Amino acid sequence: MTTFPHAPAGSNTVNPFIITDQATDLIGFVIDVFGATDVPAARTIDKDGLVLHAELRLGDSLLTLADRKPDWPFTPALTRVYVNDIEDTLARAEARGARIVTRPTDFFGDKLARFQDRSGNLWWVYQHDPAATDQDWTTASDEPAEWSQETDDWTSLSTPELDYIHQTLMDAMHTLHDPRTP
């Protein structure tokens, strides 16, 4: 039996940490778009005035953010978030300057969308359908998929929806660039 490591109250086994430009703006963005709650006691400002550590509660998760120092490389975050209303979430993200990368698309019983915030981070947004208890791993022909890492690639599961989801990710990844450079 696997036991989970001990974590302090309020933390999960895995807690994402986003290093970004203008962390204070991204904190406001995550609060507005996802309804996160700021943890003011965790906010630490470095002697250069940049955010060294900030924490947001998002559902049952803890998201940590900090400002990128001038000599640090661009490291975009790729973060997955479950929401109650995917369309509402995308509308709030767009209103705050995000670019929609993937429109809501059926994805194994859920809805999946993606957006890129102004700092260059990519967000995977899911709306789970509790009625969809089993993932449908069938091909477009409704025959059970016989996917094998040794013999096939993901295209054996190909559907128009999966092709769209894959292509929009490839396009978005190719457009990632350091926002501090033109």
**In this structure, what token pair is assigned to residue 52?**
């060294």
**In this structure, what token pair is assigned to residue 55?**
């924490």
Strand intervals (E) in the chain? 17-20, 37-38, 44-45, 51-58, 61-67, 78-82, 99-107, 110-116, 122-127
Task: State the pLDDT at residue 137.
Answer: 43
Task: State the pLDDT at residue 97.
Answer: 97
Domains of the chain: 1-75 (3.30.720.100), 76-182 (3.30.720.110)
Task: State the pLDDT at residue 150.
Answer: 54
Task: State the pLDDT at residue 1.
Answer: 62
The residue among 160, 161, 155 whose CA lies nearest residue 105 is 161
> Is 63:37 a contact under the CB 8 Å cutoff?
no
Instruction: Give the single-character DSSP code of 89.
Output: H
Q: What is the DSSP string of 115-167?
A: EE-TTS-EEEEEE--TT--S---B-TTSSBP---TTT--GGGG--HHHHHHHH
Collect the ranges in the chain with pLDDT lower than 70: 1-2, 133-154
Q: Indicate the pairing of strand 37-38 with strand 44-45.
A: unpaired
Cα distance between residue 41 and residue 60, in whole Å:
18
Cα distance between residue 19 and residue 74, in whole Å:
8
Task: State the pLDDT at residue 154.
Answer: 64
Task: State the pLDDT at residue 136.
Answer: 47
